[in-house]
Amino acid sequence: MGIEAGTQRQQNERNNFKTKIGRLILPFSSEEQRQVDRDVALVRQQVEDTLPLFGTYANIKVKTLIGLLTTDPKKANPELSYTAFRGQCGNASNEIKYHMYNLHHVIVTEVASDDNLNDLAEHEYLTTPTLSGEVLIDPTIGQYIAGHNHIFVGTRKQLKKVVEKQTGKGKKYSLSPLARDRTPSELFLDIWGNRSSRLWPASYM
């Protein structure tokens, strides 16, 4: 009886310790997530601010996208095909990068996947540093993820979730013909990657 009581007491102490630790950890992790959310929201607004100027830097090169881009999925044109975004990743990224620096003095870097080991052409997108880490901007994600007709703004983890968890048969989005028989996970590595490398100068100074 004494042994059972001692064992139960030890178990109760362990449970109490876990509860105390959980209370200590939870506020920090919650605050970290709130900071991520604030940073993503800020970058999303900065990107949105560039859109009235979209096309005034590269002009004819992005004519198929002028007036059609938004960061808001509710405002995205549902009739846009993946072909509207096809081959425009560099031009569209350059436009947003240029205007973000001129409007907000935000350092934005044009990057491509470090994990592209297959025959897909190098895809260009943007990354910018924030207090919580990098935020990715991809204005032409729709050329690979059919139905994603708005500019992606978010963390790499959030992008991976969109590609791997929300894309496929019977899901919110589907793979476009440009995916070339890749699985969503393979496409994520080839196009965006778990890491990326800088392609061009970080800003226009």
Q: What is the pLDDT of residues 44-100, one digit of tens each?
A: 999 999 999 999 987 677 888 999 999 999 999 988 999 999 999 999 999 999 999
| pLDDT over 90 at 138, yes or no | yes
The pLDDT, as a whole number, for residue 121 is 64
Average pLDDT over residues 111-115: 87
* The two structure tokens encoding residue 113: 């996947």
CB 82 within 8 A of CB 177: yes
Predicted model pTM: 0.82
Average pLDDT over residues 163-180: 93
In the chain, the percentage of residues whose pLDDT exceeds 70 is 80
Secondary structure (3-state) at 127: strand
The pLDDT, as a whole number, for residue 205 is 37
Who wins on pLDDT, 150 or 198?
150
Long-range contacts for 55-58 (Cβ within 8 Å, ≥24 apart)? 55/95, 57/94, 57/95, 57/98, 57/99, 58/91, 58/94, 58/95
Which segments of the chain does DSSP mark as H helices, in order? Answer: 2-50, 89-104, 156-165, 184-191
The pLDDT, as a whole number, for residue 199 is 78
Q: Of 131, 135, 154, whose CA–CA distance to 71 is shortest? A: 154
The pLDDT, as a whole number, for residue 85 is 94
The pLDDT, as a whole number, for residue 181 is 83
